[in-house]
Chain A
Amino acid sequence: MQAHASIPIAEHRFQFGYYRQVWWGWLIGSAFFFGEVGAGLFLVSLWTGDLVGMTLGYAIVMVGKNGAHLLYLGRPARFWRAARRPDRSWIARGIWATGIFGASGFLWLLSQWGDYRLWTGGPATIIFWMAALSALFIMFYDGFVMSASPSIPFWHIGLLPLLCLTYAALGGVTLSLTVGELLGRADATHQSALMWGESLLLVINLLLLAVYLWLMWHRNETARETVRLLLQGRYARFFVGLVVLVGLIATLLLSLAHTQLAVRWLMIVIAACELTGDFTLLMVLLKSGLYAPQAAPVFLPSRNRRRS
């Protein structure tokens, strides 16, 4: 893994160089992924009224996201303590949102699955909006968790929560389309709107990624080093190959084709491509995050020297 000029990527903390983010990996990536697409699916399904989608989205969040988080924690039995600091910590806010989602989403689903509506009117509206807003929060707050600290320049940008939101929406739309087609219960109007929404979100995400990389290239050396990793280096085949080519471009082309070709298995392929790209993006963002080198001025080539 070669770094630019004379600053390497450090293998351990006793070595000078960019240091890699090594704490959050597959479990956190999975948690983020399940949270985003699950909440996205739930929210889209609230709009389309698709009960299966709603339930699936709910399950993905509650089992997939929470499960991955609990598996990851060093002391999972103490997880409830994370609710203590919503004033400062995005993780704490996320716990609250997940809690609210868990309760209100459950109640909403309960009310929808029965032949009779368990609650109507005011209570129903409150439950509905609590579920919807908490789902919306879950879609983007991961981005804030990552961008909260200045420690990893590549993550420290408001665009990251936005990207999480658009990707969550994209994931939700994709899954909603897939569920709709597979179960044949799709409302044609909704299906068609979602198809165009899919294509639109794919283009938006492509543009956002381009802007993201461009901003990062010009932010500082450390951020630039990550961009190199993503475009030329260790993660290039994942980012360029899976995230962009498979997850966005191929998905877009297949989606456009699907508008003409009404073939069911094609949607599965589209979903597989999109979700693969989505998950890979999260993993690659986690893995490629770099810390700026801690340097005495004499460590750095003279053009890089900075002083407080």
Chain B
Amino acid sequence: MPRWGMVIDLKRCVGCNACTIACKQEHGTPPDIHFARVVTREVGTYPHAKRTFLPLLCNHCEDAPCERVCPTGATYIRPDGIVMVDADKCIGCRACAVACPYLNRHFIEPGLLQAGYGGNGDLTPFESLKFAAFQEGTMTKCTFCAHRVDQGLEPACVVTCPTEARIFGDLDDPDGRLSRLIEERKGWTLLPECGTKPCVYYLDE
């Protein structure tokens, strides 16, 4: 049973946001919801200033606080480590959103699925198809593109990344690409003090 994880190489990433839009396209998320995103930050002072880019997505934590606090069991962890939401069971209490240190939980506000990006109150054929998978009043989140992974495909953000900064694979494979990269480049995780044991590792620039 693989333990799915991702390595994000910050040396490769150029902050283009292809991942952000590919995810938007793959899932057809409603406005203002992005499972994948890139945070940019300026560091230093002129002329030794630069912009840095940090791509983010759900860390699919081994010890996921969102799963722990969910009162209904709507949030669950698959045997392969992917943290999922069963929207049918979700009551929209947003405890998971509060509990996630990484802000990777998204609430679908009532009314959000009625109007798409057109601003004219109608849904496009694409939006009609994609929005049908969401339920208002429930939580949604990055699924590591479980529906693609189950068919042997990689997540949409990984496939599109022009610089191949996102690498997806089995963390438990000692000879696998992820394990090697994490060891060679001393991969680290976000907010380790929270004890969530993320499955997304970063490699320094």
Closest to A81 in B: B72
Write the A277-302 contact mask toward B (1 if CB under 8 angstroms, else 0). 00000000000000110111111000
Q: Is the CB of A298 within 8 A of B43?
A: yes
* Cα(A88)–Cα(B96), bound, Å: 13
Chain B interface SS verdict (over half): loop
Q: List 19 A-B residue pairs with CB atoms under 8 Å apart, sorted by A's residue number.
A: A15-B39, A21-B98, A23-B94, A23-B97, A74-B110, A74-B136, A81-B89, A88-B68, A91-B69, A91-B93, A91-B95, A148-B68, A151-B100, A220-B193, A294-B54, A294-B56, A296-B54, A298-B43, A298-B205
Task: Select one of B90, B94, B99 contacting A149, CB under 8 A.
Answer: B99
Interface stretch (choices B124-132, B143-151, B170-178, B194-202): B194-202
A residues near B40, Cβ cutoff 8 Å: 14, 16
Distance from A144 Cβ to chain B, minimum over Cβ atoms (Å): 10
State whether the Cβ of B52 lies closer than 8 Å to any Cβ in chain A.
yes
Sorted from nearest, which 8 A-B pairs have the closest CB atoms? Answer: A74-B92, A74-B137, A149-B99, A151-B101, A308-B192, A92-B71, A82-B71, A81-B72
CB neighbors of B among A58-106 (8 A): 72-76, 78-79, 81-85, 88-92, 95
* Cα(A275)–Cα(B72), bound, Å: 32
Q: Count contacts on B: residues with CB < 8 A to the other chain.
A: 53
Which positions in B face A, CB cutoff 8 Å? Answer: 10, 34, 37-41, 43, 52, 54, 56, 65, 68-74, 89-95, 97-103, 107-108, 110, 135-139, 188-196, 202, 204-205
Task: Select one of A14, A72, A76, A148 contacting B37, CB under 8 A.
Answer: A14
Q: Is the CB of B98 within 8 A of A149?
A: yes
Distance from B93 Cβ to chain A, minimum over Cβ atoms (Å): 6
Given the contacts A23-B107, A81-B91, A149 and B69 also touching, CB distance less than 8 Å: yes
Closest to B137 in A: A74
Write the A120-145 contact mask toward B (1 if CB under 8 angstroms, else 0). 00000000000000000000000001
* Cα(A291)–Cα(B97), bound, Å: 11
Closest to A12 in B: B32
Distance from B155 Cβ to chain A, minimum over Cβ atoms (Å): 19
Task: Select one of A14, A82, A295 contacting B72, CB under 8 A.
Answer: A82
Q: Is the CB of B190 within 8 A of A294?
A: yes
Q: Is the CB of B39 within 8 A of A89?
A: no
A residues near B202, Cβ cutoff 8 Å: 296
State whether the Cβ of A303 lies closer than 8 Å to any Cβ in chain B.
no
Closest to A294 in B: B190
* Cα(A307)–Cα(B189), bound, Å: 8
Distance from A86 Cβ to chain B, minimum over Cβ atoms (Å): 8
Q: Is the CB of B103 within 8 A of A19?
A: yes
Given the contacts A73-B93, A75-B92, A294-B191, A150 and B71 also touching, CB distance less than 8 Å: no
Q: Is the CB of A89 within 8 A of B101?
A: no
Q: Is the CB of A149 within 8 A of B101?
A: yes
A residues near B54, Cβ cutoff 8 Å: 16, 294-296, 299
Q: Is the CB of B73 within 8 A of A291?
A: no
B residues near A295, Cβ cutoff 8 Å: 54, 190
Q: Is the CB of A296 within 8 A of B10?
A: yes
Closest to B20 in A: A14
A residues near B138, Cβ cutoff 8 Å: 74-75
Q: Is the CB of B94 within 8 A of A78?
A: no
* Cα(A13)–Cα(B56), bound, Å: 10
A residues near B73, Cβ cutoff 8 Å: 81, 84-85
A residues near B195, Cβ cutoff 8 Å: 150
* Cα(A15)–Cα(B56), bound, Å: 11
* Cα(A3)–Cα(B41), bound, Å: 15
B residues near A47, Cβ cutoff 8 Å: none
With most chain B CB atoms within 10 A of its CB, the pick from A21, A83, A296 is: A296
Closest to B108 in A: A74
State whether the Cβ of A218 lies closer than 8 Å to any Cβ in chain B.
no
* Cα(A13)–Cα(B10), bound, Å: 19
A residues near B98, Cβ cutoff 8 Å: 21, 23-24, 149, 151-152
* Cα(A15)–Cα(B139), bound, Å: 22
Q: Is the CB of A150 within 8 A of B101?
A: yes
* Cα(A148)–Cα(B196), bound, Å: 13
* Cα(A307)–Cα(B72), bound, Å: 35
Q: Is the CB of B70 within 8 A of A89?
A: yes
B residues near A91, Cβ cutoff 8 Å: 69, 71, 93, 95
Closest to B54 in A: A296
Q: Beyond A74-B108, A89-B71, A92-B72, list 17 extra A-B contacts (CB 8 Å).
A: A24-B98, A73-B91, A73-B93, A74-B107, A81-B74, A84-B71, A89-B95, A95-B71, A145-B95, A148-B65, A149-B98, A149-B99, A151-B194, A295-B190, A297-B204, A299-B54, A308-B192
